């Protein structure tokens, strides 16, 4: 048993680093999409947490041979997750000024 006590954890990932590169690219896509929503009144970290289900869905369904770059595949799914949450949230709105 090693110092961290992880000898019982099975090797779930393949020995290549392809998944690591996909995960890194997906996180970059998450940062890009979340930064586009910074004017929504939410903290950037909250936007990243809201978009995470879209990133997970993208990584689960990503096929590099068919879909190409993971960023291209993940960005719409991340944006959909954030828009869905923002659409359901009751955000304060400024009153529309009326002309006299």
How buried is residue 19: exposed, middle or buried, by Cβ count under 10 Å (0-12/13-18/19+)?
middle
Per-residue pLDDT band for 60 (boundaries 50, 70, 90) equals confident
Whole-structure pTM value: 0.68
Question: In this structure, is residue 93 part of a structural domain?
Answer: no
What residue numbers bound the domain in which 27 lies? 18-88
Report pLDDT digits (tens) over 7-31.
554 555 555 567 778 888 889 999 9
CATH for 30: 1.20.120.1810
**Which residues have a Cβ under 8 Å from the Cβ of 73 and sit 6 or more positions away?**
58, 61, 62, 67
**Look-up: residue for tokens 């949230």?**
89
Q: Rounded mean pLDDT of 70-78?
A: 88
Q: How many domains does the chain have?
A: 1
């Amino acid at each position: 048993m090693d110092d961290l006590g992880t000898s019982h954890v099975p090797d779930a990932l393949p020995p290549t680093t392809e998944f690591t590169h996909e995960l890194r690219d997906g996180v970059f896509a998450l940062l890009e999409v979340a930064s586009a929503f910074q004017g929504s009144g939410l903290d950037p970290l909250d936007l990243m947490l809201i978009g995470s289900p879209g990133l997970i869905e993208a990584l689960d369904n990503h096929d590099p041979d068919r879909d190409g770059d993971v960023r291209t595949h993940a960005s719409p799914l991340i944006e959909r997750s954030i828009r869905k949450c923002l659409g359901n949230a009751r955000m304060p709105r400024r009153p529309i000024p009326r002309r006299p």
